[in-house]
Structure 1
């Protein structure tokens, strides 16, 4: 897919998923987000830029860490996600958070104006993750750090069949190369090529828990990366997709009807 088209698809896709994303993914993604925050070690008074902030789950944690003496700029490609983050941060009393619509690979900020740049599970959607790593690196001061978390290897993510199932019903791929950054050493190389030093890679296996069939389907179809394609499907097609996807994860269904699906995450840190 041509990069500009991919960015446009992602923008409208996440606009479509914004309202359901947090409900579906808050708990399953918490362990990965906690790792990112631990590795980033955000301190009171720091200035932090976040790329691909989504609904603001990590934004609020970063805002709490820097406190009112610090500042957070939360950016996302989707205006609906930006608006949602701005609203929830304001409701939480984080007046030191500002938001802006920006793509992770083109952060329009002054060079070296932040202490840290973070991105939680956003670089898989960027046409060129290396370009995003470079954009984040430029935003931080000398000695500052860049931290990003992505999904790991496809074979270690039990929900991965959602992509070919949806792709079979649309003209172009929904998320080309989604798992590419999760292959061993891939994101680490992107960071090193962006000029970052002392780069470290952390891999973790987790179990994604969904309370029941409907919460799983809502997260995967309406609140995730295939949301734009699903909105265009007929009710009959949606039923077909749901049935195929549930069959692909049937081995992860517990006797009580909940789902416990394996997942892998990769977190990388580098210093400017």
Structure 2
């Protein structure tokens, strides 16, 4: 898919999903959110960038961690996601973070670099995830941390049939190669290729729990990456894709609800210090929390 087209699909798709995302997904992706924050080792006074910030969950947590002497910038392609993040931060009285529309493959470049860069479940939607990671790494200060999460192996995500179900009814794929960054050692190698040291990755198995068929379908079709395509379906097509999706989840049904297997992959690394010196690794103090 043409990169510009892919960005437009993601921008307007998440504009459609914003009103439903937190309701249906915030608790479901909590293990990935916590994993990224733990690996980021954010400290008071840090300058943090949150790429593909969505409704601001990671950025707001980072703003709390950096305190008044630190700062956080969140960027996202979706203007409505940015508006939602601003509103959430404002409601909490946070004045050390700001949000703006921006492309993850062309993030801000402050003098001296960022102390931490986060990207929670955003790389899968970018036209060139490897290039995005390389650019993020260049935006880091020496010794700074990059922590990211992606969805894992397709075979470990029972909800994955949503893409083929929708793609069969649209002219272009909604999320081409969505699971590529979570397959095998792809993310691990990409972090190495970006020039980071101390690279590590780990997989987290989860169950996405929904209390009813309607809730499971609303999460998939209204609050997720296929929201734009779904918004353009007529009523019979919407009924058909919901029924097909539920058939694909039959093995996950528990009474009226669903427990759907999923997998997250957390990856992280450190930007090396200048040649001839050792990386300055930030170590979380005992008892500290993100």
Q: TM-score, normalised by structure 1?
A: 0.97
Matching residue of 2:234: 234
Alignment of 1:221 onto 2:233: no
> Does the 8 Å CA contact 2:41/2:145 hold for their aligned counterparts?
no
Counterparts in 2 of 1:111 and 1:154: CA distance versus 1, 3 Å:
farther
Cα separation, 1, equivalents of 2:63 and 2:252: 36
Q: How does 1:96-245 map to 2 (within 5 A)?
A: 96-110=96-110, 112-245=112-245
> Does the 8 Å CA contact 2:130/2:190 hold for their aligned counterparts?
yes
Please list every run of 5 or more consecutive structure 1 residues that lacks an aligned counterpart in the other structure.
none
Please list every run of 5 or more consecutive structure 2 residues that lacks an aligned counterpart in the other structure.
272-290
Cα separation, 1, equivalents of 2:179 and 2:268: 18
Cα separation, 2, equivalents of 1:134 and 1:93: 34
**Cα offset, 1:206, TM superposition:** 0.8
Alignment of 1:62 onto 2:74: no
Matching residue of 1:51: 51
Q: Secondary structure at the match of 1:28?
A: coil
Tell which deviates more after alignment, 186-195 or 116-125: 186-195
> Does the 8 Å CA contact 1:111/1:139 hold for their aligned counterparts?
no
Runs of 4+ in 1 over 4 A off after TM superposition: none
**Cα offset, 1:111, TM superposition:** 5.5
Cα separation, 1, equivalents of 2:131 and 2:246: 36
Give me the CA root mean square deviation. Answer: 1.0
Deviations 1:35-90 (A, max 9, x none): 11111121121110000011112222111111222110011011110111011011
Matching residue of 2:277: none
Q: Secondary structure at the match of 1:38?
A: helix
Q: Secondary structure at the match of 2:160?
A: coil
Matching residue of 2:80: 80
> Does the 8 Å CA contact 1:111/1:141 hold for their aligned counterparts?
no
